[in-house]
Amino acid sequence: MKRSPLKSPYLWAIVAAVAVVVAAWVGRERYQPIITGARAPDFTALDMAGNETRLSDFRGKVVLLNVWATWCPPCREEMPSMQRLYEAMAGTDFQIVAVSIDAPQGEQDSSGREGGDLAAFAEDMGLTFTILHDPEGRIQATYQTTGVPETFLIGRDGLIYKKVAGGTAWDAPENQELVRRLLGE
C-alpha cells in the first residue's frame, strides 16, 4: 500500500523549516541588533504641533537621537547638557531629536505614570532642539532600548556611531569632538 506524500512527517518538517527560513529572511531587519555600526532604523513620532516626523526627515545631518520621559530623573539631569551641545553646534548640520515616551497629557502609561506636558517641560528647561512624542513607545521596540534615557549618535551616513544607555554629559569635550568629526570639521 502506497502512502500519501501529504502524510509524510518528513515533508511537513521540510515545509516548516522552509517557512521559518523565509520568515526570518523577510523580517531580518527586525532581528538586527541596534548597536554601534548598525544602520539607524527609521521611525515616526509626533512633533509638538502633532505632525508626523520621521528620522529620515533629518537625512544628511548628524543626529543625536535621545529616548526619554518627563518622569525620568536621569533624563532631566542630562537635558541641560544636550541643550549646551546643541548651542555649541549651532550653524552646523547637527540636530538633536529627543523622543518622549510619556503617555499623553492627562493619561497614564501602563505603569501608572502620568503623561507629561512636553511643551511646559521644554519651556521650563529652556530646550530649543526638536522634541517629538511617541506615547505608544514604538521607538523603544524599534531601537531595542532597555530604559530611558538611551541615546544614539547617528552620522550623516545613517550609521550609529555611539550608543549610551543612561544619562551622560553630552557637552563633554569628547562628545563635542565626536560630533565635530562626524560633521567633517
**Beta-bridge partners for 153:** 64, 162
Q: Vertex 117, ends 116 and 123: CA angle to 5°? A: 130
Three-class SS of residue 108?
A: strand
The single-letter DSSP state of residue 93 is S
* Domains along the chain with CATH numbers: 33-183 (3.40.30.10)
pLDDT tens digits for 164-184? 999 999 999 999 999 999 999
pTM beyond 0.75: the answer is: yes
Share the mean pLDDT of the chain.
92
CB 67 within 8 A of CB 143: yes
Angle between helices 118-125 and 73-88 (to 10 degrees): 60
Distance in Å from the first CA to the final CA of the chain: 79
Query: Of 23-32, 67-76, 125-134, which gets the smallest average pLDDT?
Result: 23-32
56-62 long-range contacts, CB within 8 A, separation 24+: 58/95, 58/97, 59/158, 60/93, 60/156, 61/93, 61/94, 61/95, 61/156, 62/92, 62/93, 62/94, 62/95, 62/153, 62/154, 62/155, 62/156, 62/179, 62/182, 62/183
> What Rg, from alpha-carbon coordinates, does the chain have?
21
| Distance, C-alpha 152 to centroid of its chain | 7
pLDDT one-digit tens code per residue, 100-130: 999 999 999 989 999 999 999 999 999 999 9
